[in-house]
Amino acid sequence: MANTSNNIPIFPLNIRTICLLKIIGNTNACLKPFRQAFPSAAQPVENKKYIIPPKNHLTSPRRHSAANPPPLPVPYHNLTTAMPPKLIIFDWDGTLADTTFPIILTMQHAFAECGLDIPAEAAVRPLIGKSLAGIIHTLAPDLPAERIEHIAYVYTRSYLNPNNQNMKLFSDAVACLNTLKTQGYWLAVATGKGRTGLNQAIAQTGTAGYWLATRCASECPPKPAPDMVWEICDELGLTPAEALVVGDTVYDLDMAANAKARAVGVATGAHTIDQLQSAPHLAILKCLSELPGFLDTLK
């Protein structure tokens, strides 16, 4: 019988009984005297699994669709005095690789082979950085989905032809990557290319050893949706605030802003300095060789 001295219940449970009850897993019986003394205590949930709360967007990237479009670029707050980034996420075409003209020529070839009017260079250039299907749809908005898919196939077949020799890094790209890697930065790629195209580009340029993570438009919603940044950060156990996106188009900079990451533009690819300055950014650099010095100013 329980003795309540100073309102402290004392239960005459034999220690051997308690151990036996624990061994056979009957913890409810073991705790019965306690629950009788404190009926308001929380009761265990019987025969139910624990419910794990959903992860937030930093660890479980959102998927976007026509019904759930990505958010518009947010006002860019000044993060220049925040902690320096740990992760640098590079765009590929026009940022690391001098591929602007090969992309334009291949797109013109694909349209010609499919019997369509050849788009002008000035029409194709501003679209570089979008997904392949997005570029084709913008150039020919009246085409049905199956025609767009066929043009994309013709483009990819031609662009990935190793005889074209169209994959060349900018002259300062490797030196920049070496410097950043030596300084301890983590490096990744977020590109509008497909997975096959990126894998081939990495193999042709011998840069596989630099990247801790890569994401493509064939795996995530295309830029400026933030998903590529979110998924890379999720894979590496970081938050977007610890990342810096480097790209040559406003799509790269807007992607960073949508992901709540920082961004730096490089005027080496499809978009001009004036175009880049219209998007959220910490700085607009003339070339990649200026990036290590700029990062030093954030330390």
C-alpha angle 109-113-118 in degrees, rounded to nearest 5? 55
CATH superfamily of 87-98+168-297: HAD superfamily/HAD-like (3.40.50.1000)
pLDDT at residue 46, rounded to an integer: 39
When the candidates are 2.40.10, 1.10.760, 1.10.150, 2.30.42, the CATH number that belongs to 99-160 is 1.10.150
- Arithmetic mean of pLDDT over the chain: 81
Closest listed residue to residue 100, CA positions, set 190, 198, 170, 204: 170
Confidence of residue 277 (pLDDT cuts 50, 70, 90): very high
C-alpha angle 169-272-222 in degrees, rounded to nearest 5? 70
Interval 91-96 mean pLDDT: 96
Query: Is this model's pTM higher than 0.85 or not?
Result: no
Closest listed residue to residue 291, CA positions, set 125, 129, 88: 88
Interval 213-233 mean pLDDT: 95
Q: What SS3 state is found at 19?
A: helix
pLDDT at residue 91, rounded to an integer: 97
pLDDT at residue 80, rounded to an integer: 47
- Domain locations in the chain? 87-98+168-297, 99-160
Confidence of residue 227 (pLDDT cuts 50, 70, 90): very high
Render pLDDT for 10-26 as a digit per residue (tens, 0 to 9).
445 555 554 444 444 55
Cross-strand bridge partners of residue 265: 247, 284
Cis peptide before 54 (omega within 30 of 0): no
Q: Do domains 87-98+168-297 and 99-160 have the same CATH topology?
A: no
Interval 70-94 mean pLDDT: 68
Radius of gyration of the chain (CA): 28
Residues contacting 169, CB < 8 A, separation 6+: 96, 97, 98, 205, 207
Question: Which residue did the predictor score with more confidence, 241 or 28?
Answer: 241
pLDDT above 50 (res 53): no
Closest listed residue to residue 117, CA positions, set 86, 139, 87: 139
Render pLDDT for 104-129 as a digit per residue (tens, 0 to 9).
999 999 999 999 999 999 999 989 88
Interval 210-237 mean pLDDT: 96
Cross-strand bridge partners of residue 128: 130
Interval 214-242 mean pLDDT: 95
pLDDT at residue 236, rounded to an integer: 97
Closest listed residue to residue 97, CA positions, set 294, 271, 247: 247
Distance CA 197, CA 59 (A): 27
pLDDT above 70 (res 63): no
